[in-house]
Amino acid sequence: MSKQNLSLRLGVLISGSGSNLQAIIEANESQQLPGVEIALVVSNKADAYGLQRALKHRLPAIYLPWGQPTVGAQFIAPKPEMSESESRLATLLHLFQIDLIVLAGWMRILSAAFLEQFPQHIINIHPALLPDNGTGSTFTTRNGTQIPAFRGLHAVQQALDAGVKITGSCVHFVTPEVDAGPVICREEVAIEEGDTEETLHERLKVVEHRLIVKAVGGLKVLNEPG
């Protein structure tokens, strides 16, 4: 965290629409996140709409080409050491004195070596319910129903395919195992009859926009001098 603990400088990493970035921007502009500054937005895609959102609000934003491929629904696990793209990203994040990295729809897996550079300082938004400590293969909803913990790509579709009645979103710390870090906050969302991946994801995003602001605000308070 920053030396004087006066502000929390966010680095927001995106790959697409950036609606969660927008939620942070709006919360910030309406003074809901005092002391929080969006210091840098990074996208691994040049045409990510989130970059336009950042530029519209005059935030420092950069496109950082990234080579990590995916196969079908599976990410190819990164090597343990940092890739060239990761080294560039780490340099940028240090240069901009980033305190907290927010993966807001960032679709690339980060290596253990990269994560070690920012221990406990990277959070992710995931469109499914994960157990408290992040690990474990099931989650128990508030009404006592046990559902699988859907991880990785297409978590929204995975919930639909499994036929569960409740899903949700959460914000969690990032650890080397994908979507398996300690949960900061979560909200359940009921699956409605006729829901498609798109309609359900839209409702999940409404929840996420609240969750990410809550998580960042909470971590800012934790970062304040006692």
Considering the rule CB under 6 A, would residue 19 count as an interface residue with ligand GRF?
yes
Task: Point out the residue whose Cβ comes nearest to ligand GRF.
Answer: 105
Q: Sign of the C-alpha dihedral, residues 95, 97, 19, 119?
A: positive
Alpha helix locations (H) across 112-186?
112-117, 155-162
Judged by CB under 6 A, the residue of 11, 105, 131, 134 near ligand GRF is 105
If binding is defined by CB under 6 A, does position 86 make contact with ligand GRF? no
The question of whether 209 is a catalytic residue gets the answer no
Q: How far is the CB of 198 from ligand GRF (least distance, A)?
A: 11
Q: Catalytic pick from 126, 154, 172, 209?
A: 126
User: Does 208 participate in binding ligand GRF (rule CB under 6 A)?
Assistant: yes
Using CB under 6 A as the binding rule, whether residue 126 contacts ligand GRF is answered as yes
Nearest CA to 221 out of 73, 128, 124, 100 is that of: 100
Residues 21 to 80: which contact ligand GRF by CB under 6 A? 50
Distance CA 191, CA 40 (A): 35
Residue 111, burial from CB neighbour count under 10 angstroms (0-12, 13-18, 19+): middle
Q: What angle do CA 135, 139, 145 make, to 5 degrees?
A: 165
Residues that bind ligand GRF (CB under 6 A): 14, 16-20, 50, 104-105, 125-127, 169, 204-205, 208
Q: Which residues are marked as active site?
A: 126
